[in-house]
Amino acid sequence: EKVLRESRTRLEITDRRHFPFKKVVRVFSNNTDGVEAYVQDDQTDYRRVYDPEHPDADAEGYVYYPNINMVSEMVEMISASRSYEANLTSIETAKRIANESLNI
């Protein structure tokens, strides 16, 4: 719960002294050398909202918010969870087949 609360707070930070929080993307690639995983900054633009009264508004009246969409983050989380479950099922199946072949 604490992590979710802190993450939610980061979505609203607009302090002009610092750029808003930048989304990071987890990248996985499967090649002949094995699986490679790394994290990189998302290159999409910050979310611009016109609010000239906001203390962090720029000269044109826009406020910049982090480039994070909560709906797409939830979809990505569900997809990762389902992928994990599918991988776990395939490992369990491989173990069962190996054990059954030893009993033959």
Q: What is the mean pLDDT of each run of 10 residues along the chain (104 residues)?
A: 59 65 72 76 83 90 84 85 92 93 82
Task: Check whether residue 8 and residue 58 sit in a common domain.
Answer: yes
Task: Check whether residue 100 and residue 53 sit in a common domain.
Answer: no
Q: What length is written for the chain? A: 104
Q: What is the pLDDT of residue 68?
A: 79
Q: How far is CA 60 from CA 52, 55, 63, 83, in A?
A: 7, 13, 9, 44
Q: What is the pLDDT of residue 4?
A: 54
Q: Which residue in the block uniquely carries the two structure tokens 């094995």? A: 34
Task: Check whether residue 26 and residue 74 sit in a common domain.
Answer: no
Q: What is the pLDDT of residue 66?
A: 82
Q: What is the pLDDT of residue 62?
A: 92
Task: Check whether residue 63 and residue 30 sit in a common domain.
Answer: yes
Q: What is the pLDDT of residue 17?
A: 61
Task: Check whether residue 4 and residue 49 sit in a common domain.
Answer: yes
Q: Which of 79, 64, 71, 66 is nearest to 26 (CA)?
A: 79
Q: What is the pLDDT of residue 85?
A: 94
Task: Check whether residue 28 and residue 12 sit in a common domain.
Answer: yes
Segments forming the whole domain that contains residue 94: 69-104
Give the amino acid at 9: T
Task: Check whether residue 79 and residue 57 sit in a common domain.
Answer: no
Q: What is the pLDDT of residue 16?
A: 59
For the chain, what is the domain count? 2
Beta strands in the chain (DSSP E): 24-31, 34-41, 47-50, 62-65
Cα–Cα distance, 24 to 37 (Å, whole number): 13
Task: Check whether residue 57 and residue 91 sit in a common domain.
Answer: no
